[in-house]
Amino acid sequence: MKRFSGSLAQLALFIAVGLALPLLPGTNFSLLITLLLFIGLATSWDILGGWTGQTSLGHAAFVGIGAYALALGTNRLGLDAISAVQLGVGVAVLFALLWGSLTFGLRGSYFTLSTIAIAEILRLAAINEAWFTGGSAGLFISSLPEPFGLDLFERRVEYYLALVYAASVLACVMWFASGRFGYEMRAVREDEAAAQASGINPTRIKLRAFALSGALTALGGGVYGAYLSFLDPHNLFFLPLSVQIALTAIIGGRGTVWGPALGATLLILPAELFRSVFAEANLLIYGLLILIVTLFVPRGLIGELERYLLRRRYAREQG
């Protein structure tokens, strides 16, 4: 069965559009960077949340780890930018493995609760350990090393970084979606007992998905950190960011390749648009929008589309 799961041609089209956009006059780089970052973050979240079916509301922790690793690694430990991001990814993997082995015994909404709790603990640690993290006042990244002579504070550079990030996360998901790992994850999502009966170790698959998801999220966190250049623990580790990442993926359609990307496009663009039109009330409308989509499109946009296509094909085959 051919799934509506994307192909290299689609990815190529995505990259081509991404490369072409800055050539247009009057490009709003901040908006596009935010958009690309959220495409990457939501797709990373979806590896655990959609493909493996473990709804996490703690992914902001990984964004925070990535961003803080960049800032602290370069400014306190004297690393170059690339090693600092690598450090962040490494820490995120270790953290995800530890976190997962602690909490994967919990099912469904209990797992979700534990993710909220752990991210919250991490946030308060980032606020309280001011000697290391800058504390509640936040952390300014005043200077960054320039890998390959690239100025990481320049919006255009950040844009291409974000594009590379989003495209590689999408490529990663595409690569495993049709492979063995993708099937294993879906098997765990649909029925853990049945998956176990067919020789899959559910905990191992979940741990692997969590580590991958966390690593890619931390990578995005590094780019996000360079883009923000001011790290606020009240934002980076906090529940609203986790919720935003998760919602983006869910509304687009979880467990699909392009769902999270579509969700990001549909959520980030209006949110930014409303910000300029409605000023204070932008998130008000954002909330309403989410409500309406969930009430009328419960499977997410790509999910409903897939279902529609499947039904049509079924009807045709049945004559």
Partner 1 sequence: MVRSQVVKPRRVNVTPWVILFGVVALIAARVVYLLSTGTYELAFFAGALLSALQLGSLYALIALGYTLVYGIIRLINFAHGEVFMVGAFASYFLFANTPYALPWAVFTAGIASAGLMYALNLWRGKLSDPVVLVGGVVGFAGITYALSVASLGWIWAMVLSMLVTGVVGILLDRIAYRPLRGAPRISLLITAIAMSFFMQNAGLLLFTRNQTPFRPETSWTQFLQFPLAGSTVYTSRMVVLIPLVTLLLVTILTLFVSRTRLGKAMRATAQDPEVAQMMGVNVDRVIATTFFLGSVLAAAAGVLWGLNFGSLTQPAVFGLLPGLKAFAAAVIGGIGSLPGAVIGGLLLGFLENFVPALFSGVTEYKDTFAFFLLIIILLIRPSGIIGEDLSEKV
Give me the least distance between CB of 186 and partner 1, in Å please.
15
276 binds partner 1 (CB under 8 A): no
Nearer to partner 1, 257 or 293 (CB): 293
| 252 and 266 Cβ atoms separated by less than 8 Å | yes
Nearer to partner 1, 44 or 55 (CB): 55
272 binds partner 1 (CB under 8 A): no
205 binds partner 1 (CB under 8 A): no
Give the one residue of 149, 295, 315, 317 binding partner 1; rule: CB under 8 A.
Answer: 295
Give me the least distance between CB of 233 and partner 1, in Å please.
13
| 91 and 65 Cβ atoms separated by less than 8 Å | yes
Ramachandran angles phi, psi of 129, nearest 5° = -85, 65
298 binds partner 1 (CB under 8 A): yes
Conformational region of residue 135, where left means phi above 0, alpha means psi within -120 to 50, and beta covers everything else:
left
Interaction pattern, residues 220-259, with partner 1; x per rule: CB under 8 A: -------------------x---x---x--xx--------
CB-count exposure of residue 148 (10 Å: 0-12, 13-18, 19+)? exposed
User: Total residues contacting partner 1 (rule CB under 8 A)?
Assistant: 38
Give me the least distance between CB of 42 and partner 1, in Å please.
14
Report helix, strand or coil for 231.
strand
Give me the least distance between CB of 293 and partner 1, in Å please.
9
Nearer to partner 1, 19 or 124 (CB): 124
Give the one residue of 286, 301, 305, 306 binding partner 1; rule: CB under 8 A.
Answer: 286
DSSP string across 9-61:
HHHHHHHHHHHHGGGSTT--HHHHHHHHHHHHHHHHHHIIIIIS----S-THH
13 binds partner 1 (CB under 8 A): no
Residues 93, 101: Cα–Cα separation, whole Å: 12
Provide the angle, in degrees to the nearest 10, between the axes of the packed helices 180-190 and 202-228: 110
Give me the least distance between CB of 23 and partner 1, in Å please.
36
Stretch that binds partner 1, among 15-23, 70-78, 86-94, 290-298 (CB under 8 A): 290-298
| 159 and 22 Cβ atoms separated by less than 8 Å | yes
Query: Tokens representing 208?
Result: 């692997």
Q: What is the DSSP letter of 178?
A: T
Interaction pattern, residues 46-85, with partner 1; x per rule: CB under 8 A: ---------x------------------------------
Would the CA dihedral through 149, 12, 293, 220 be positive or negative?
negative
Give the one residue of 3, 287, 308, 313 binding partner 1; rule: CB under 8 A.
Answer: 287
Alpha carbon 274 to chain centroid, angstroms? 23
Give me the least distance between CB of 54 and partner 1, in Å please.
11
Name which of residues 78 to 137 contact partner 1 (CB under 8 A).
102-103, 105-110, 112-114, 116-118, 120-121, 124-125, 128
| 94 and 267 Cβ atoms separated by less than 8 Å | no
Q: Would you tell me which residues interact with partner 1 (CB under 8 A)?
A: 55, 102-103, 105-110, 112-114, 116-118, 120-121, 124-125, 128, 239, 243, 247, 250-251, 280-284, 286-288, 290-291, 294-295, 298
